[in-house]
Amino acid sequence: MNMFAVAIGGAFGAVARYLFGLLIMNRFPHPRVPVAMLFVNVLGSFGLGLFFGLIYGEIPEYVYDDTWFLVAGIGFFGAFTTFSTFSVETVELVRKGSYKKVWIYVSLSLLGSLLTFITGLHIGELL
């Protein structure tokens, strides 16, 4: 049952990432840095923080048997956000010698994701 919960959430998360990525790429067809996955990862981090805050009121230590966490935390947000694509895009920028863009992309991705997760967590705790 646990694998089914993760699979259901993951299916929705992967489709949402694809559609949101397309939307961003259509809106910004020639960005200086890869904004589609930047937005996806930052939004997904906010959503995961909000989820933790709303459902648990904190970051729980042991949730791997909780159905909501399996569906949303691991499944949906795990499939929606993508560290692997972030890595590919970062390496592409390095190979092109675009070191300023690498610094901007990595900084915005990491700091943005952390800050939006914390923000989502706090908002969720307050609601």
70: which 2 tokens?
Answer: 């399996």
44: burial class by Cβ within 10 Å (0-12, 13-18, 19+)?
Answer: buried
Question: Has 47 been labeled as part of a binding site?
Answer: no
Question: Has 10 been labeled as part of a binding site?
Answer: no
Rounded distance between C-alpha atoms, residue 94 and residue 102, angstroms: 7
Q: Which of 27, 41, 34 is nearest to 79 (CA)?
A: 41
As annotated, the binding site for Na(+) includes 78, 81
As annotated, the binding site includes 78, 81
